[in-house]
Amino acid sequence: MKLIFLGTGTSQGIPVIGCDCEVCRSDDPRDRRMRSSVHVEYEGYHIQVDTPPEFRLQALAADIPRVDAVLVTHTHADHIFGMDDLRRFNELQGAAIPVYASPRDVNHLRRIFAYMTEPPPPGITRPRIELRPVIDPVEVGPFRVTPFAVEHGSDRVYGYRLDAGGRALAYVPDCHTMGLSALACLAGLDVMILDALRTTPHPTHLSLPESLALLAHIGARRSFITHLCHRLGHAETERLLPFGVEIPWDGLEVYL
């Protein structure tokens, strides 16, 4: 199984518009972070998790050849506003692309992207998606995909566990608290990827200390933090991490 971190930044990305802080002015390319998303491939089947505003740029940078399915964690702008770029994969593949999300978020997507679910006028190209509400584990190509709910402030959003070829990873980019039912989905992971916005508490995201404590409890073989804001420089944050927890960068490839 191959994992690509396409974006690892928070909703504003890094650098932040109009900011001259040390991280936003950093010469370290690892401090340039697009909005969060990952791409997972196994046996030629490609799953995209979230389609942020820079999805086109992310796909070009990582040389993504196809998208066979999309998993949506939630419908905040920084996680879905690149969905229109799926149209190119429709053209390459000659087929509609299934998009999995919670039943609530399927309704949100149908409202936000109404034009994608209607037949286009002659000569007009539009993304072709199949919205599929998911609650329980589902087989998606060679993957077993298990959605689970976590708290993101006042919202309940999804994280996903993906199992294939005897390997397992889980991705939770936006989280403030995680209940016992979610934790029960995270046993025996090879890779765990978890929200860690900044060092200080936040009302809708895990802080770095909170994230590290939760990662230690989950106990994956490798752990990564993501959805970082410009208060966390790569080199500085790397020195704060315990053994087994890593800070990724946009474009990092991990093989399970």
The per-residue pLDDT of the chain, averaged, comes to: 97
* Within a domain: 241: yes
- Residue 221 CA, distance from chain mean position: 19
Residue 42 near residue 2 (C-beta atoms within 8 A): yes
Residues 6 or more apart in contact with residue 237 via CB below 8 angstroms = 208, 225, 228, 247
* Within a domain: 157: yes
pLDDT of residue 98: 98
Range of the domain at 33: 2-251
What is the tens place of the pLDDT at every residue in 76-135? Answer: 999 999 999 999 999 999 999 999 999 999 999 999 999 998 877 887 889 999 999 999
Cα distances (Å, whole numbers) of residue 234 to 29, 31, 122, 244: 9, 6, 48, 16
The count of domains in the chain is: 1
- Which residues, listed in sequence order, are joined to residue 197 by a DSSP beta bridge? none
pLDDT of residue 124: 82
* Within a domain: 158: yes
CB count in 10 Å sphere of residue 211: 22
pLDDT of residue 120: 78
Give the C-alpha separation, 76 to 30, whole Å.
25
* Within a domain: 256: no
* Within a domain: 67: yes
pLDDT of residue 150: 98
Phi, then psi, of 92 in degrees rounded to 5: -65, -35
* Within a domain: 12: yes
Q: Tell me, what CATH number does 101's domain have?
A: 3.60.15.10
pLDDT of residue 184 exceeding 90, the answer is: yes
pLDDT of residue 244: 95
What is the tens place of the pLDDT at every residue in 150-165? Answer: 999 989 999 999 999 9
pLDDT of residue 84: 97
Sheet harboring 155-164: ordered strands across?
138-140, 143-152, 155-164, 167-172, 191-195, 222-226, 245-246
pTM score, whole prediction: 0.97
What is the tens place of the pLDDT at every residue in 2-32? Answer: 999 999 999 999 999 999 999 999 999 999 9
What is the tens place of the pLDDT at every residue in 50-59? Answer: 999 999 999 9
* Within a domain: 100: yes
* Within a domain: 143: yes
